[in-house]
Structure 1
């Protein structure tokens, strides 16, 4: 397993959220310090604020894609739409590999129900999350490597 992918999984296993694990594992690519990366992604875990919506590994990856391909010029429509294309490619690939983009669907329970709250506190509730972090990190790693060869 490539270093960045392993690092993302290790960070998740240390207790960081899925989004934090992804952004922090790729932060040094962008001269972003680890603490800033962890803070930027801190509200995205658990399907964005533990709502069970978009998987945090996906939202973290979208942040990384923005760092890599994004623009700071509001008039640069080409760069804007190229970034959107990269995000769409990532999302398509993640959904194909993981089966969904939605945290509650991936986990099999909803944080917003009494049953889901109980389930989230049980051992093994998040046992598949390292797999989703790994999938996101692998896709990102591939896309970032591809962008180097495209230059």
Structure 2
């Protein structure tokens, strides 16, 4: 399967999970990327992302999709107790932060959505787009990691 199609499918899957109401932003990202990585974690891992939507428990702070993306990066580059931090974790997490900040001028949920009415179709569409963008960006980065070549699988859209 070609790279662009894989990334497009990840974008569609994550955004679609949010659009259909299956998950909120952070949950959709972690669920989709767990599937993309051939389910290295039980499907219930999505529960860890439950408190991040709407900027950490509706506080409006850090965008939940970004939080989900960083958690997904941790699924690959995170460490187990007693091990050193993988040198790729911090730079790739910062790169995700910077990518979203460049696109949306902020990583703060309340800033990114300030002109949109909560629970409006326009806000949901905006957040679906960001959710897909984060998942696609992470998938693109992970596709560059040769060590993951045998673990990555197409997602079912």
Q: For this structure pair, what is the TM-score category when the shorter chain's length is used for normalisation?
A: 0.7 to 0.9
CA 1:74–1:23 in structure 2 vs 1: closer, same or farther (change >3 Å)? Answer: same
Instruction: Tell me which moved more, 58-67 or 1-10.
Output: 1-10
Q: How is 1:113-124 mapped onto 2 (pairs within 5 angstroms)?
A: 119-124=117-122
Please report the TM-score for the alignment, with normalisation by the length of structure 1: 0.81
Q: How many angstroms does 1:95 deviate by?
A: 1.2
The aligned residue for residue 131 of structure 1 is: 129
Aligned Cα RMSD in Å? 2.2
The aligned residue for residue 70 of structure 2 is: 62
CA 1:96–1:63 in structure 2 vs 1: closer, same or farther (change >3 Å)? Answer: same
Cα distance in 2 for residues equivalent to 1:51 and 1:70: 26
The aligned residue for residue 91 of structure 1 is: 97
Cα distance in 2 for residues equivalent to 1:122 and 1:26: 27
Contact 1:47–1:102 (8 Å) recurs in 2: yes
CA 1:75–1:123 in structure 2 vs 1: closer, same or farther (change >3 Å)? Answer: closer
Cα distance in 1 for residues equivalent to 2:121 and 2:13: 23
- Count of residue pairs brought into register by the alignment: 140
Q: How many angstroms does 1:46 deviate by?
A: 0.5
Contact 2:10–2:132 (8 Å) recurs in 1: no
The aligned residue for residue 37 of structure 1 is: 45
Say which structure is richer in helix. 1
Please report the TM-score for the alignment, with normalisation by the length of structure 2: 0.79
Candidates 8, 12, 15, aligned match of 2:18 = 12
Contact 1:98–1:135 (8 Å) recurs in 2: no
Q: Which one scores higher on RCO, CA 8 angstroms, separation ≥ 6?
A: 2
Bigger Rg over Cα: 1
